[in-house]
Amino acid sequence: MSAKSFSRIKVTAVLFLFLKIQPSVQAPLNGTKWSYIGPDGEKTWPQKYPFCGGGFQSPIDLHNNILQYDSTLLPLELIGYNMSTTDQLALTNNGHSVRVGLPPTMYIRNLPFQYTATQLHLHWGNRKKPEGSEHTIHGKHFAAELHIVHYNSDKYPDVTAAMDKSDGFAVLAIFIEIGPFNPSYEKIFSHFQNVKYKGQKAQVPGFNIQELLPKNMNEYYRYEGSLTTPPCYPSVLWTVFRHPVHISEEQLLALETALYCTRFDDPEPLEMVNNFRHIQEFEERLVYVSFHEVAERTKKTTKVSSTSQQLTMKMTEKTTKVSPTSQQLTTRMMIPPKYELYLITESAFHSWDLTEICPGQCFSSLLQGFKTLSETEA
């Protein structure tokens, strides 16, 4: 479709996605206990937390077949990351990880919304198998992974309100590998002895949090996924940096051995190790990359784009006033897979059952189709 022919079509359509069947999300009946091993391990998460068994889950393996270069992915602008040493940050052992609370003066500026920092935490393996990153690249784990969690403060008053919204969170993920001693990470790690057990808290003097990120921040993977811990809401815009940061072997060992999932007085102490979720299926979705060295995608993804094209065609045939902006299209369903698509235009109302025209989880294809559509129009 030529740009000219399309420009005649007035951009007035508003796209809404409504769940056809929306199972109620109730508080888990058997408490909120979950873990990485044992009877409450990740295989059982979906029983108590339905989203963990749903779509758009994280982490994922980042491999060529699903990657697509996107020239619009600019370096992130991190504001307020350079904290004063007189500020105090709360370090906590929450029984699943060690986390550092972050102040609302820290935020990311140049995403579709302003995302304000709330906390950072780590995922790691164990001393015998130091492969504890959540995301993998071509099937390869890194030793550990840092997550810096931000919530959409343009749209939501706090983390709790943002948590279950499709555009609620933006998380920065940083791979950690063994290398030279890292004095910046030590600013957190040196306090581990004070938070050995679940529920313990300590204070960490402020520092430049950006030092925890790789020097080259221009190259990253971007995709829409989920929290990697229960309740696994598909609410995260992920930025996974391509280049790892390094910490020394001793520092990694401290991370792998210093902490416990259990409380101080627990008669059966459980070491905090292997606190990473395994990779999740990633079908018919794409990961956008800000860098060029990506091999040609295979037939599988070619099929995806042709599906989206067909879908685009199919939908434009039915209405002459369809051209939602990509922002409207970033709406994700919170509970797949049964939902309906409604297109409301100036003069008409159309609805389709997506499970009919878009079998399987091809929602990404749909978004891709509309993205193409709106780009063509522009």
Q: Does 147 bind Zn ion (CB under 5 A)?
A: yes
Please list, in sequence order, all residues whose beta carbon lies within 8 angstroms of the beta carbon of residue 304, skipping any fewer than 6 positions away.
Answer: 284, 286, 362, 364, 365, 368
Number of residues that bind Zn ion (CB under 5 A): 1
Complex with Zn ion: residue 121 or 242, whichever CB lies closer: 121
How are beta strands 115-124 and 98-101 bridged, if at all?
antiparallel
Residue among 223 and 370 whose Cβ is closer to Zn ion: 223
Q: Is 96 a catalytic residue?
A: yes
Stretch that binds Zn ion, among 5-13, 33-41, 146-154, 237-245 (CB under 5 A): 146-154
Rg (CA), the chain: 22
Q: In this complex, which beta carbon is closest to Zn ion, that of residue 59 or of residue 369?
A: 59
How far apart are alpha carbons 293 and 371 in whole angstroms?
A: 23
Min dist CB 177 to Zn ion, Å, is: 17
Near Zn ion by CB under 5 A, which window of 47-55, 141-149, 287-295, 361-369?
141-149
Q: Which DSSP category does 168 fall into?
A: S
Q: Tell me the three state secondary structure of residue 95.
A: coil
By C-beta, is 141 or 147 nearer to Zn ion? Answer: 147
Q: Single out the catalytic residue among 96, 243, 246, 350.
A: 96
User: What is the length of the chain?
Assistant: 378
- Least Cβ distance, residue 197 to Zn ion (angstroms): 20
> Stretches 30-38, 47-55, 144-152, 182-190: which one binds Zn ion (CB under 5 A)?
144-152
Nearest to residue 99, comparing CAs of 140, 159, 46, 157?
Answer: 159
Pull the structure tokens for residue 148: 């810096």
Cβ of residue 254: shortest distance to Zn ion, in angstroms? 19
Residue closer to Zn ion, measured from CB, 169 or 339: 169
The least distance separating Zn ion from the CB of residue 123, rounded to whole angstroms, comes to: 6
| 48 contacts Zn ion (rule: CB under 5 A) | no
H helices present in the chain, as ranges: 3-7, 45-48, 159-162, 183-189, 249-257, 299-318, 354-357, 363-377
Binding piece for Zn ion, criterion CB under 5 A, among 63-71, 88-96, 142-150, 276-284: 142-150
**Min separation Cβ 115 and Zn ion, Å:** 16
CB of 31 to Zn ion, least distance (A): 21
Is 242 a residue that touches Zn ion (CB under 5 A)? no
Q: CB nearer to Zn ion: give 147 or 165.
A: 147
Q: Cα–Cα distance between 132 and 33 in angstroms, integer? A: 22
Which residue stretch of 103-111, 143-151, 244-252, 370-378 sits at the interface with Zn ion (rule: CB under 5 A)? 143-151
**CA 117 to CA 105: how far, in whole Å?**
8
Q: Using the 8-state DSSP alphabet, how is residue 58 labeled?
A: S
With the C-alpha atoms ordered 331, 333, 334, 340, is the resulting torsion angle positive or negative?
positive
Phi, psi (degrees; rounded to nearest 5) at 205: -60, 145
Q: 98 Cβ partners below 8 Å, 6+ apart?
A: 91, 92, 121, 122, 188, 192, 195, 259, 272
Site string for Zn ion, 100-139 (x = CB under 5 A): ----------------------------------------
Closest CB to Zn ion among 111 and 227?
227
CB of 26 to Zn ion, least distance (A): 24
Tell me how far apart the terminal alpha carbons of the chain are, to the nearest angstrom.
12
Q: CB-side exposure of 134: number of CA atoms within 13 Å? A: 27
Which residues form the interface with Zn ion (CB under 5 A)? 147
Active-site residue set: 96
